[in-house]
Chain A
C-alpha cells in the first residue's frame, strides 16, 4: 500500500456505494491496478454482507403480541377527562354543580321535556342570583380540570419526554387560574375539623370540608359546608348549602339555606333572609328562628317553633307547629299538631290518613281555613299501582318512539351506531359523561359574555336535544342486538320499538332504575357525540 492508495474510509464508503461519482470512478481505477486495495475492498464488501446477514436473523422465535387497537388522542383525552370528571363529581362537584342543577336527578330523564323547561328556568333564576360567585367557582373548577388533564396527560405519556410546549401550556394554565378566582372563592379542607374563629371575616364564598366544621366568623359570600357536624354561628352574607350528619345554624343568613342532614337540622338563627330547604331525620326550627321567605322541609320529625314569613310545606311522620307562619301551611304527615301559640296567617292544608291524626290546640290561631284531606296510604306509597303511572309511561314511550322514528329516518347513519367492544363502551361512557357535565358549564361560561349568549344558548339547546336522543339511540342499538338476524336485518322501527320498551322498563325498575337511567343516558350521549365526530371527520376527509 502506498501514499496514493485510498483511505479505509474511502474504501468503506465505496463498498457501501456511497462515494460521489467522481471519487467512485477514481477509486475504481485505483483498485483495478492495486492488488492490496482490491483485497481490502473485497474484505469490506464481504464484511458488510456478513453484518447484514447476521442482522437479518435472530427473530425466528418472535411471537407477535396480540393486537390492541391503539387509542386515539381524542379517546385518550376523553378517557382521562372522563376519569377526572368522575373524581371531581365524587369529590367537589356536587356542591359546585349542585347549585346550578338544583332540580332532583329527574332532569336527567330524557323522556320528560317539562323538566328541561324547569331546569332552564331554575338555571336562569339561579344565575341571576348567584351568577358571579358560581361563575368564578366554575371557572376555577374548569381551569383546575384543564390543568389536571394536562398533568394526567403528561403522566400518561410518561415515556415521552416532556416537551417545551407542554411545560409552557402547564405554566400558562397555572398563571391563568391564579389571579382569576382566588379573590372569590375560599376552599378549606381538613379531615379532622375546621374552625373559622369569631372575628375572622371571609370576603369570598367559603367551601369547607371536614369531620367537624365550625364557622364562628363572618362570611360575605355563600357557605358550602360538608362534614359530619356543621355548626354555623357567624353571619353569612349569601346562602348556606350544607350536607352533614347534623347541622346547627345560629347566625344570620343573607340568602337561603339548603340543608341535607341525616340526623338533626337545627335552626336558631335570628334571621334567614331567603328560604329554608331542609331534609333530614329531625328538622328543628327553634322559636328564636326567623325565616323571611318560605320553608320547605321533609323528615321524620319536623318542629316549627320559629316564625316563617310566607308559606310552609312540610312532609314528615310527625309535624309540630307552635310558631308563626305568614302564609299557608301545607303538611303531609302521619301526625300533625298545631300547638299554642301557633299562628298561621293563611290556610292550613293537612294531608293525613285519618281525621284523628290532626290536632289543633285551643291556643293555636288559623287565619284562613282548615282543610283536611284524607288519603289512603297504599295509593300514596306505591306508585306502581296507579293507572296514571302506566298511562304516563305509555305516553313517554310513544313520544320517544315518534321522535326516534323521525330522527333515525332523517339521519340513517344513527340506525347503525353500535358498541362492539368493552373499549367502545368505555370510550362512549367517557365521552358521554364529559359531554353531559361539561357542555352546560361551557355553554354558561360562553353565555355570560354578551356576544357568546346566542352560542351558549344554542349549545344548551343542542345539549338538551342530545340528552333526549341519547336513550333513543341506545334503545335502537339494544333493540338491534336483541333481534339480531344476520340474513334479514329488521326494520329500524321494530328494533327501536323493542329497545325503547326495554329501556323504559329498565329506567322504571325500583332502586336501580335511576342509576340505569343515568348510565344509559351517558352511554347514548357518548355514542351520539362519537357518531357526530366521525361524521365530521368523514366530511373533512372527503373535502380533502
Chain B
C-alpha cells in the first residue's frame, strides 16, 4: 500500500475516469486532424505500393502479405504486455496506422532532403555513410513520437500509466516497421532487376524482419512512448521534470536508432559473417535490454496498483492471496493455466484464463470507481450493487464457480513449477539456437 492509503503505485497509475467514453474523442479537433492525416498517409503509401504492384504484382502482394502476417505476433505480444488494463483496440489501431501511414509517408521526403543537405553541405561520402544514421532517427523518431502525442490528444484518459505509453509507442513503431519493410522489399525487387520474383522479398523479410526486427522501430518508439506517458501520468511531479524525462526518452530513442543505422562496426570487426552478427548483437542488445527492463519496472508498478484494488477486498472468492501474487506476472499466469490444464484438461486451462481475465477487468473497474487511489471498502460487492463494477464482480464469481466445478479451485501455478535456474537454462538454450540460426541466415543471405 502507498503511504497515502491507496494501493501501491497509486501515483504511477491514473485510472480512466468513469465519464470517459469513446465518443468523447469525436468532439476533439485532434481526432479529425489525425483522421485526415491517416487518410492522406494511406493515399501516399497506396501510391508507392501501387507503383510496385503495377510492375511486380506477385512480389508486391507477397511483400504485403508476409509483413502483415509478421505484425500479428508482435501485436499480440505488445497487447499482452499490458494484460491487466488493456487498451481500446481502436486506439491501438490508430497508433499502428499513424506509424504505418502518416510517419512512413512523411519520413520518405524528409529523409531524402536531409541526406541531400548532408551531401551538399559536407560531402557525398559523408551522406552515403552517415546519412541514414542522421536523417532516419531525426525525422522518424519525431514523427513516430507525434503519433503517441496524437493518441494522448484523442484519448488522454486512456493513457493511464507509463506502460500504456510503451504499448502505444510500440504499436506506432510496429506500424512504421511493417510498412517501411514492405516498401524496402518492393524496392529490393526492383534493384534485383530480375522481374516479378519473390526472392528479394524473402531476403528482405529475413534481413529486416528478423535480423533487424527485434531491435527496430517497435523498440525505439516504446522508449519514446514511455516518456510521453510520463508527462501525462505523473502529474505529481513538476512539469520541468516530466518534460525532461520525455525529452530524455526521445533522445534515447534517437540514440538507439542512430547507433543501429550508423556505419560503425559495419565490417564486423573484419571477421566475416560471425563478425557482422556480433556487431548486430552489440548494437541491438543494449537497447533491447534497456527497454525490457523499463517495461518490467513499469509493468510491476501497474500490477501492484491494480492487484492492490483486489487485495483490499480480502475476498478469496474474488482472488485468493496466491492468485493475487501471480496475477501481475505473465509468466506465472501462464504457469497457472498450464497447471490447470494438467489437472482439468483444456476446460481447466480455459476456465483459469477466463478467471484471470475477469479478475483483471474487475481490478480496472474498481480503480475507476475509486480514482483517488483509495480502494473500496471490504464489502466491495455490496458497495457496488449496480453498474460495471457489480457486473465484473458477478463475472469473477461465475468463473470461480466454473473452476470449482472442474475440481480445481484456485488459479495458481503448480507447486512443482520449473525452478528459476531451469527457466534460465531454457532461455539460454533457445537464445543459442536463435543466434546460430540467425548467423547461418546472415551467411546464406550474403551478410558476410
Q: Do these two chains interact?
A: no
Interface residues of A (CB under 8 A from B): none
Interface residues of B (CB under 8 A from A): none
